[in-house]
Amino acid sequence: MSKLIIRRALISVYHKDKIVDFAKFLVSNNVEIISSPGTYKMLKTHNIKSMPVEKFVETPNLFEGIIKTLFPVIFAGILSKRDSKSESMGIKPIDLVVVNFFPYEQLVMSGEKSVDNLIEMIDIGGPTLLRAAGKNYKYVCPVSSPDHYNQIMKEIKTGGITLETRFKMAVEVFKKTTHYDKVISETLK
């Protein structure tokens, strides 16, 4: 399979390290950015063009923002096979999914013992988005860490993201989500 040309990215990051430069790079390479509320606000303060996820899904955030990205239109865009059937359904492909999780593990390490506080910090959307992108790595590139931004930018500059890199990023996603779930299951006893 050829290199993946990135036309649309979904960015939803709790930890915002390096995201401003990465998002500026994407915009300068004609990538449309969709972003979750916190990320959108931060990008807007840096004059980076982005579409709020509510506009993309045409639905306001639900339950005080708990449901931001868990919408069929987003998952259709991530999981579509980029074929005529997807096109005929009007699916808007999402080629790059940039996500990192709520800091559950850091909360545990700080000594938090309240089950309610721990449960509140469990990220649902982030792991779900990344797992979907990882599953469909042939058509989507998942990015789960700022440590990968430079490699992604380098490949975009050279015409697109290789299948090898997308597979590597998918494997990284499954390692990360497995670890995240393990920490949760081990601390909620």
User: Looking at the domain assignment, is residue 142 inside a domain?
Assistant: yes
Number of domains in the chain: 1
The answer to whether residue 2 sits within a structural domain is no
Distance of alpha carbon 111 from the chain centroid = 28
Work out the angle at residue 93's Cα, subtended by the Cα atoms of residues 51 and 128, and round it to the nearest 5 degrees.
80
In a domain, 32, yes or no: yes
Q: Tens digit of pLDDT per residue, the chain (189 long)?
A: 589 999 999 999 998 989 999 999 999 999 999 998 889 999 999 999 999 988 877 666 554 555 566 667 888 899 998 777 767 677 899 999 999 988 888 888 888 888 888 888 888 889 999 999 999 999 999 999 999 999 999 999 999 999 999 999 999 999 999 999 999 999 887
What CATH number has the domain bearing residue 157?
Answer: 3.40.50.1380
Residue 3 within any structural domain of the chain: no
Give the domain range for residue 98.
8-187
Burial class (CB in 10 A: 0-12, 13-18, 19+), 112: middle
Among 130, 139, 140, residue whose Cα is nearest residue 174: 130
Return the exposure string of 65-102: e unless at least 16 CB atoms fall within 10 Å of the residue's CB, then b.
eeebbebeebbbbbbbeeeeebeeeebebbbbbbbbbb
Number of Cβ within a 10 Å radius of residue 131: 18
